[in-house]
């Protein structure tokens, strides 16, 4: 396991929660969760994100990465996105998933390879939205989700990596015609994970509760507004909200003021994230068909270096 000295903030006062959020059109929201993670992110040289298509799309990861770029760090953490569309931790898949073309991937199938090859210092994992299989609550499915989370906790501990578990995000029931509330199912999953965090000392960030509050606020402002047009996948505003929730958990104080990043910075960071994501998914392997083919790690690193220089050139000049 590679362990090096982590980065530190030269000037914590410049850590501004909403620096990275270029797409915000509404008034930025500040969530009331108590920050509990301090400098865990900035002292972890390599951070690996695991999750399903919400993570794979990379919006909230890129925003978090952009925020880090805006900080005056001695050494910025490396954020690797290894989210995989359709994936679960439960190992379950509904009949006829993807038109019968393939079952949902199971994190357990690739987890050992991912941990061995990426050597993470910190893992941030978000699962659950697929684990309920978009059906009404079922105790056996719920237990499979619980077992999958426990397996992830055990594997992370075995490889000496810190782990942050994210609760399932919201499911926008108003965007899906069902005779039951799937968001109510996700509420049960989220509540269990939060309780297990308190009981077992797991690091858990609740995405579901503040997302639901923000969704209600959006609907009051512009009914019938949403952050998830297809009920599942967050739009730009939704990813912004996810990033805000995470950033607040890594800050002891959240300044009220905002600082917009230079034009194009978020786009450059997203491009770098995508190049590295595709290469690492190819390198670690998976069973999910239909994804864009990544390049080799060596080729991806070269492309990422070029983008990193462009990102550096886009950053405001630091005071001497």
Residue 222's pLDDT band, with cuts at 50, 70 and 90, is confident
Residue 252's pLDDT band, with cuts at 50, 70 and 90, is low
Instruction: Record the pTM.
Output: 0.88
**Residues 32-41, mean pLDDT to the nearest whole number:** 68
User: Residue 184: what pLDDT?
Assistant: 98
Q: Does residue 2 belong to any structural domain of this protein?
A: no
List CB contacts of 78: < 8 A, sequence separation 6 or more. 45, 46, 47
pLDDT digits (tens, 9 = 90+) for 53-84: 999 999 999 999 998 998 878 899 999 999 99
User: Residue 4: what pLDDT?
Assistant: 39
User: Residue 32: what pLDDT?
Assistant: 40
Q: Does residue 235 belong to any structural domain of this protein?
A: yes
What is the rounded CA–CA span in Å between residue 56 and residue 66? 17
User: Residue 195: what pLDDT?
Assistant: 98
Residue 259's pLDDT band, with cuts at 50, 70 and 90, is very low
Q: Does residue 6 belong to any structural domain of this protein?
A: no
pLDDT above 90: residue 22: no
More confident residue, 217 or 10: 217
**Residues 233-249, mean pLDDT to the nearest whole number:** 93
Find the distance separating the first CA and the last CA of the chain, reported in whole Å.
36
What is the number of structural domains in the chain? 1
Q: Does residue 74 belong to any structural domain of this protein?
A: yes
H, E, C per residue of the chain: CCCCCCCCECCHHHCCCCCCCCCCCCCCCCCCCCCCCCCCCCCCCEEEEEECHHHHHCHHHHHHHHHHHCCCECCCCEEEECCCCCCECCCCCCCCHHHHCCCCCEHHHHHHHHHHHHCCCEEEEECCCCCCCCCCCCHHHHHHHHHHHHHHHHHHHHCCCEEEEECCCCCCHHHCCCCCCHHHHHHHHHHHHHHHHHHHCCEEECCHHHHHHHHHHHHHHCCCCCCCCCCCCCCHHHHHHHHHHHHHHCCCCCCCCCCCCCCCHHHHHHHHHHHHHHHHHHHHCCCCCCCCCCCCHHHHHHHHHHHHHHHHHHCCCCCC
Residue 320's pLDDT band, with cuts at 50, 70 and 90, is low
User: Residue 15: what pLDDT?
Assistant: 36
Q: Does residue 3 belong to any structural domain of this protein?
A: no
User: Residue 260: what pLDDT?
Assistant: 58
User: Residue 70: what pLDDT?
Assistant: 86
Residue 177's pLDDT band, with cuts at 50, 70 and 90, is confident
More confident residue, 240 or 254: 240
Q: Does residue 4 belong to any structural domain of this protein?
A: no
| Whole-number average pLDDT of the chain | 87
User: Residue 256: what pLDDT?
Assistant: 45
**Residues 106-119, mean pLDDT to the nearest whole number:** 98
User: Residue 231: what pLDDT?
Assistant: 97
Q: Does residue 222 belong to any structural domain of this protein?
A: yes
Q: Does residue 202 belong to any structural domain of this protein?
A: yes
More confident residue, 237 or 15: 237
CATH code: domain of residue 41: 3.40.50.1110
pLDDT above 90: residue 168: yes
Range in 20-29, 119-128, 166-175, 282-291 with the lowest mean pLDDT: 20-29
Question: What residues are paired with 9 via a beta bridge?
Answer: 73
**Residues 113-135, mean pLDDT to the nearest whole number:** 98
**Residues 213-222, mean pLDDT to the nearest whole number:** 92
Distances (CA, A) of 165 to 123, 137, 203, 205: 8, 21, 6, 6
pLDDT above 50: residue 236: yes
Q: What is the domain extent for residue 131?
A: 16-27+34-314
User: Residue 251: what pLDDT?
Assistant: 77
**Residues 142-157, mean pLDDT to the nearest whole number:** 98
């Amino acid at each position: 396991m590679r362990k090096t000295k982590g980065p530190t903030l030269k000037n914590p006062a410049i850590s501004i929660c909403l620096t990275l959020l270029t797409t915000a059109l509404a008034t930025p929201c500040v969530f009331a969760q108590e920050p509990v993670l301090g400098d865990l992110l900035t002292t972890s040289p390599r951070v690996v994100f695991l999750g399903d298509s919400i993570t794979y799309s990379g919006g909230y990861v890129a925003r978090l990465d952009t925020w880090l770029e805006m900080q005056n760090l001695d050494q910025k953490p490396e954020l690797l996105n290894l989210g995989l569309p359709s994936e679960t931790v439960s190992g379950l898949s509904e009949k006829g998933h993807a038109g019968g073309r393939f079952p949902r991937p199971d994190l357990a199938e690739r987890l050992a390879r991912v941990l061995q090859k990426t050597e993470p210092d910190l893992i941030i994992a978000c699962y659950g939205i697929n684990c309920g299989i978009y059906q009404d609550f079922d105790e056996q499915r719920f237990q499979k989700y619980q077992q999958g989370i426990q397996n992830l906790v055990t594997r992370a501990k075995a490889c000496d990596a810190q782990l942050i578990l994210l609760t399932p995000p919201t499911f926008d029931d108003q965007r899906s015609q069902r005779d039951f509330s799937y968001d109510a199912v996700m509420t049960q999953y989220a509540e269990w994970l939060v309780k297990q965090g308190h009981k077992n000392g797991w690091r858990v960030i609740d995405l579901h509760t503040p997302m639901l509050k923000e969704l209600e606020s959006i609907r009051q402002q512009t009914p019938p507004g949403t952050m998830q047009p297809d009920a599942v996948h967050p739009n730009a505003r939704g990813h912004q909200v996810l990033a805000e929730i995470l950033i607040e958990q890594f800050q002891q104080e959240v300044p009220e003021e905002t600082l917009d990043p230079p034009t194009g910075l978020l786009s450059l960071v997203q491009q770098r994230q995508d190049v590295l994501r595709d290469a690492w998914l190819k390198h670690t392997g998976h069973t999910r068909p239909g994804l864009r083919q990544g390049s080799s790690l060596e080729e991806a690193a070269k492309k990422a270096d070029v983008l990193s220089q462009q990102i550096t050139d886009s950053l405001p000049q630091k005071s001497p």
